[in-house]
Structure 1
Amino acid sequence: MSTYTRNNVLSMTVLAIALATAGCSDRSTTPQDTASTAPAAPAADHGALDAAPADAQTGADEHAAHATAGVPALPATPWASDAPLREGMRRMHQAVVTLGHAENGHLDATQTTAAAQQVQDAANYMITNCKLAPEPDAALHGVLATLMTGAAAIKGDPANTTPVASMRDAVALYPRMFEDAAWKTDTAPAE
Structure 2
Amino acid sequence: MKKILQPLAWYLVLTSVLAMASGLALSFATGTVLAASGDHQHGASEPRQLPPQGQKWATDQPLREGMAHIRKALEQALPTTQAPLSNAQANELAQAIEAEIASMVSHCVLPEQADATLHDLFGELLQGSEALRTNGHREQAMLQVVTTLNRYPQLFDDPAWPALAIAVQH
TM-score by length of 1: 0.58
The equivalent of 2:16 in structure 1 is 29
**Alpha-carbon distance change, 57 to 154 in structure 1, aligned in 2, over 3 angstroms:** farther
Deviation at 1:158, TM superposition (A): 3.9
- Residues in 1 aligned to 2:99 and 2:79: alpha-carbon distance in whole angstroms: 19
- Does residue 83 of structure 2 align to residue 105 of structure 1? yes
Equivalent residue letter for 2:142: V
Which AA in structure 2 matches 1:56? A
- Structure 1 runs (4+) deviating above 3 angstroms are 55-60, 71-75
Identity across aligned pairs (percent)? 25
Instruction: Output the CA distance in 2 between the equivalents of 1:31 and 1:110.
Output: 25
- Paired with 1:74 and 1:103, the residues of 2 have a C-alpha distance of 39
Counterpart Cα distance in 2 of 1:127 and 1:103? 34
Post-superposition shift, 1:107?
A: 3.6
Task: Provide the C-alpha distance between the structure 2 equivalents of 1:172 and 1:124, rounded to a whole number of angstroms.
Answer: 20
Pair 1:85 & 2:63 matched: yes
TM-score, structure 2 as length reference: 0.64
Query: Residue 123 of structure 1 corresponds to which residue in structure 2?
Result: 101
Structure 1, residues 49-77: CA drift from partner, whole Å, max 9, x if none? 9xxxxx635589x99x99xx8x8646420
Stretches of structure 1 that go unaligned for 5 or more consecutive residues are 1-25, 40-48, 50-54
Measured after TM superposition, the shift of residue 154 of structure 1 is: 1.4
Number of equivalent positions: 139
> Matches of residues 132-151 of structure 1 in structure 2 within 5 Å?
132-151=110-129
Cα deviation for residue 183 of structure 1 reads 1.3
**1:40-79 paired onto structure 2 within 5 Å:** 56=36, 73=50, 75-76=52-53, 77-79=55-57
d(CA) in 1 for partners of 2:58 and 2:113? 11
1:169 to 143, 147, 165: 147
Does 1:95 pair with 2:95? no
The gaps in structure 2 that reach 5 residues or longer are: 1-12, 27-33
Name the SS of the counterpart of 2:58 in structure 1: coil
For residue 31 of structure 1, report the CA deviation from its aligned partner: 9.9
C-alpha RMSD of the superposition = 4.1
CA distance in 1, matches of 2:52, 2:150: 14
